Amino acid sequence: MSMAVDGRRRGSLAIGAVRRDFAPWADPAATPFIRFERVTKRYGDVVAVADLSLDIFEREFFCLLGPSGCGKTTLMRMLAGFEAASEGRIVLAGQDLSGVPPYRRPVNMMFQSYALFPHMSVERNIAFGLEQDRLPKAEIAERVVEMLRLVQLEPFARRRPAQLSGGQRQRVALARALAKRPKVLLLDEPLGALDKKLREETQFELMDLQVKLGMTFLVVTHDQEEAMTMADRIAVMDHGRIVQVATPGEIYEQPASRYVAEFIGDVNILEGKVSEAGEGRCTLAVADAPAPVSIAGVAEPLEPGREVALALRPEKLVLTHEAPPAGTPNVFAGTVWDIGYLGDWTIYLVRLASGRTLRVSRANATRFVERPLSWDDEVFVHFAPEAGVVLTR
């Protein structure tokens, strides 16, 4: 919450990509659509979800992100009704879901394995949920056609799932889950089984679909790129707890802890001690740095002497051949230890005098470089005071 306050205080400065006029989580008057209230799930002695509270708002594209075994799937399965919470309750649109069986919940799920019924055609798969509601035949047929059009699978209506490609199956699963127009669509690793190119396309399709249908999407994923691309907000989970809930931009630029900083994207973490602290800024003594490091935009108050970690994103470090002009803050000297050329980016591993290696990345904005950096070059790395993030956890 402190992050949202901080964002507003800085006025015109914004973090990450911004979806205009959609931030119900920052509005104290908004009522949450889904509430997890102190939910705990135990399997024998193993705690899968530990005293977790979370609010998700209507029309939100929400991602649960974490490594396998962090409890994200369990949380989703509790919302779907396949698992019962050991403690706490889940409320959806004002209704307490405790004791409501999965077949009476107004949510639908897209399964990781897709779980298409192999003995039914694509059409019948999509119609299945509507048939359970005993809708008139004509209406079912109409909705099936509408869904097939939505996922562009009209020519495949009579095929069996086994006769479809992986991408097509994924769309059938999506259409089947959407057909009943659920209040919330749950997606369990929706893109996990697709190859990279298709995954990227589908990410944008899902985002379009979600806006178009005005539905609330809850996605479980272990892929941070997927979460960053699609979500309005991300909850990063670890060992059954939520470590941080924020927009993708805040998660990346203002991580709440070392765990989050290291889980999302690449980061250099340096150990340091606060030597001087002021309003929103501080100076750190860092063993790997020749001079005190000054940091601006500090989110929480710090007292001198406190042990902290300094997180530096590789793309926010500036790499030069010549020494930066005198008076430039936060300069490190080192040698180029290794270079990884990725096409769009180049990664440089710079070895500092202390023996520590810093990861620096540079966008290859031009095709030709006048003085390319090479192995063993003597170089300088510096960064702006706003580029570093001080982590106390």
Partner 1 sequence: MNRRFGFFDATALTLGFAFLYLPILILVVYSFNASRLVTVWGGFSTQWYVSLLQNEQLLQAAWISLRVAFLSAAVATVLGTLAALALVRYGRYPGRTLFTGMVYAPLVMPEVITGLSLLLLFVAVDFDRGFWTVVLAHTTFTMCFVTVVVQARLVDFDRSLEEAAMDLGCPPLKTFFTITLPLIAPSVLAGFLLAFTLSLDDLVIASFTSGPGATTLPMRIYSQVRLGVTPEINAVCTILVALVTIGVIIASLATKRSAVARQ
Shortest Cβ 167–partner 1 spacing (Å): 19
Please, what is the Cα angle at 256 between 255 and 259, to 5 degrees? 80
Shortest Cβ 105–partner 1 spacing (Å): 8
d(C-alpha 14, C-alpha 138), whole Å: 50
Positive or negative, the CA dihedral 72, 78, 79, 80 is: positive
Shortest Cβ 72–partner 1 spacing (Å): 17
Instruction: Pick the binder of partner 1 from 7, 24, 129, 190 (CB under 8 A).
Output: 129
The token pair that represents 351 in the structure block: 């070895």
Task: Give the x-and-dash track for 67-106 against partner 1 (CB under 8 A).
Answer: -------------xxx------------------xxxxx-
The token pair that represents 145 in the structure block: 């056609």
Q: Residue type at 61?
A: F
| Residue number with CB closer to partner 1 (50 or 120) | 120
User: Any contact of residue 117 with partner 1 (CB under 8 A)?
Assistant: yes
The token pair that represents 140 in the structure block: 């079912």
| Residue number with CB closer to partner 1 (49 or 185) | 185
Residues of span 169-198 touching partner 1 by CB under 8 A: 176-177, 180
User: Any contact of residue 111 with partner 1 (CB under 8 A)?
Assistant: yes
Q: Which helix (H) or strand (E) holds 373?
A: none
User: Any contact of residue 133 with partner 1 (CB under 8 A)?
Assistant: yes
In this structure, the strands spanning 389-391 and 307-312 are: antiparallel
User: Any contact of residue 364 with partner 1 (CB under 8 A)?
Assistant: no
d(C-alpha 127, C-alpha 140), whole Å: 6
Task: Give the x-and-dash track for 134-173 against partner 1 (CB under 8 A).
Answer: ----------------------------x-----------
Number of Cβ within 10 Å of residue 377's Cβ equals 16
Please, what is the Cα angle at 358 between 355 and 362, to 5 degrees? 150
Q: How many residues bind partner 1, per CB under 8 A?
A: 27
Q: Which residues bind partner 1 (CB under 8 A)?
A: 80-82, 101-105, 107-109, 111-113, 115-119, 128-129, 132-133, 162, 176-177, 180
